Amino acid sequence: MPSNFSLNPVGWFRGPGRFINIGLTACTWLAACGQDFKVSESARCDGRLEGTESTVDSPFDADLDGYFDGGNPDCQATYAETLWDCNDQDEDINPGQPELACNGVDDDCDELTLDADDADADGFDSCTDCADSEPDVNPGQPEIVCDGLDNDCDAASVDENDADADGYGSCSDCADADPSVSPGTAEIACNGVDDDCNEVTSDGPDVDADGESSCTDCDDLDAARSNTFTEVCDDAIDNDCDGEVDDGCDVDYTGIYIITHGASYSCAFGIVSINVSTLTVADARPVIAFAAGGSQPGTMTGTIDSFGAFATSNVLSGSCTETYTFDGSFTTADTFTGTLTAAYSGSCFDCRAQTWTLDGAR
């Protein structure tokens, strides 16, 4: 035995820088049994070529990629960290490899090299985050309907439903339970439905441009009348289309009205003498009276309706019965127009029926 070798108790010879294993036969080396020793050197990751190694430390580079088993303490002691292989069973994994994104593998054996970036810092990298520039979009978010985003990065989570299966989802379909109503449907006039889901599209024409279509406007040729209007007092117009003029207004027509073109007539040798230049109105709704100066036509009494229309009369009985009527309407709170009629029956001499149009203002 060489002087620089020694035998340890477990059957190994220790030589300089290495272990030598002695394979014994059926007899012990002490008895020798007349046979030679079977001696072999054990592999060790030490940067030297051992007898059992085909190349230096080849047992510690199983995948033959030129990098050594990073989990072996001897390799760690022998080689720089840049040569430590974190997976010695895969030649595509070692410190010389570039990191491949999103494969779940530490390709370059560097834990600091991320498998993927997390640009929006929401805890989900670009491998799983479908919008890595938007922190409110990632697999951990709940789906928010009708915002146009795949909030939870799950294509199976719909942003909107299409309950009526008309091709328009609930975000754009104003009546998603009715397949006949959608943004793709033409507007049908006067059906009271927003068929095309567009409030700008009128349900019907608006001829007088008062904001209400002919479907509901009581007079689509008069811009002063509409169901949406508030009644205007003293204009003698049914502004709100409720069938009443100046309803809710406190209008009192009482007063003296000057007649623009008066009425004048005389017959029966002056017994009948008409000269109307003013009329005095007494408004006691629904009763109204128009009084002229003199006995003819006298005071004509009758009724007035909510629209300002009136009908009055005065009958003077005798051998010649005189019948006076004044019918018309108030056009404003301070003006009226009407027809004054005089009729005679009996012994009236030369008296004949007369008619005048009277316009008055107070």
Task: Encode 22-39 in three state secondary structure.
Answer: EECCCCCCCCCCCCCCEE
Q: What is the pLDDT of residues 182-195, one digit of tens each?
A: 999 999 988 989 99
What are the φ and ψ backbone dihedral angles of 62, each rounded to 5 degrees? -60, -35
Where do the structural domains in the chain lie, given as residue ranges?
Answer: 255-361
Q: Which two tokens stand for residue 223?
A: 């811009």
The mean predicted confidence, pLDDT, of the chain is 86
Q: How confident is the model at residue 40 (pLDDT cuts 50, 70, 90)?
A: very low
Distance in angstroms (rounded) separating the CA atoms of residues 355 and 343: 9
Helices (H), the chain: 73-78
154 close to 129: Cβ distance less than 8 angstroms: no
Q: How many CB atoms lie within 10 A of CB 306?
A: 15
Mean pLDDT of 234-249: 82
Alpha-carbon separation of residue 296 from 46, 149, 161, 171 (angstroms): 145, 88, 82, 77
pLDDT, residue 9, reads: 40
Q: How confident is the model at residue 41 (pLDDT cuts 50, 70, 90)?
A: low
- Strand blocks (E) in the chain: 6-7, 12-15, 18-23, 38-41, 68-69, 84-85, 255-267, 272-284, 287-291, 299-304, 309-316, 320-332, 335-346, 354-361
Residue 42 DSSP class: P
Torsion, CA 10, CA 16, CA 17, CA 20, rounded to 10? -40
Distance in angstroms (rounded) separating the CA atoms of residues 50 and 57: 8
Distance in angstroms (rounded) separating the CA atoms of residues 143 and 149: 8
336 close to 360: Cβ distance less than 8 angstroms: yes
Considering only 1-5, 230-234, 235-239, 287-291, which range has the smallest mean pLDDT?
1-5
Closest CA to 303 of 326, 285, 318: 285
For the chain, give the percent of residues with pLDDT over 90.
Answer: 60
| Of the ranges 27-36, 165-174, 276-285, the best mean pLDDT one | 276-285
Q: What is the pLDDT of residues 68-107, one digit of tens each?
A: 999 999 999 999 999 999 999 999 999 999 999 888 899 9
Give the CATH architecture of domain 255-361: Beta Barrel (2.40)
Considering only 269-273, 305-309, 339-343, which range has the smallest mean pLDDT?
305-309
Angle at 201 between CA 195 and CA 202, to 5 degrees: 95
Torsion, CA 161, CA 165, CA 167, CA 171, rounded to 10? -30
Q: Which two tokens stand for residue 236?
A: 């003698």
Q: How confident is the model at residue 24 (pLDDT cuts 50, 70, 90)?
A: very low
Distance in angstroms (rounded) separating the CA atoms of residues 227 and 5: 119
Q: How confident is the model at residue 235 (pLDDT cuts 50, 70, 90)?
A: confident
Closest CA to 266 of 276, 255, 256: 276
Q: How confident is the model at residue 25 (pLDDT cuts 50, 70, 90)?
A: very low
Closest CA to 79 of 92, 87, 88, 69: 69
Q: What is the pLDDT of residues 112-142, one digit of tens each?
A: 888 888 899 999 988 989 999 999 999 999 9
For the chain, give the percent of residues with pLDDT over 70.
Answer: 89
Q: Which residues pair with 265 in a beta bridge?
A: 274
> Is the pLDDT at 31 greater than 60, yes or no?
no
Distance in angstroms (rounded) separating the CA atoms of residues 293 and 312: 16
What are the φ and ψ backbone dihedral angles of 75, each rounded to 5 degrees? -65, -40
50 close to 33: Cβ distance less than 8 angstroms: no
Please measure the distance between the N-terminal and C-terminal CA atoms of the chain and give it in whole angstroms. Answer: 151
Helix (H) and strand (E) counts in the chain: 1, 14
Q: Which residues of 256-289 are buried (b: 16+ CB within 10 A; e: fewer)?
A: ebebeebbebebeeeebebebeebebebeeeebb
Mean pLDDT of 155-169: 87
> Is the pLDDT at 61 greater than 90, yes or no?
yes
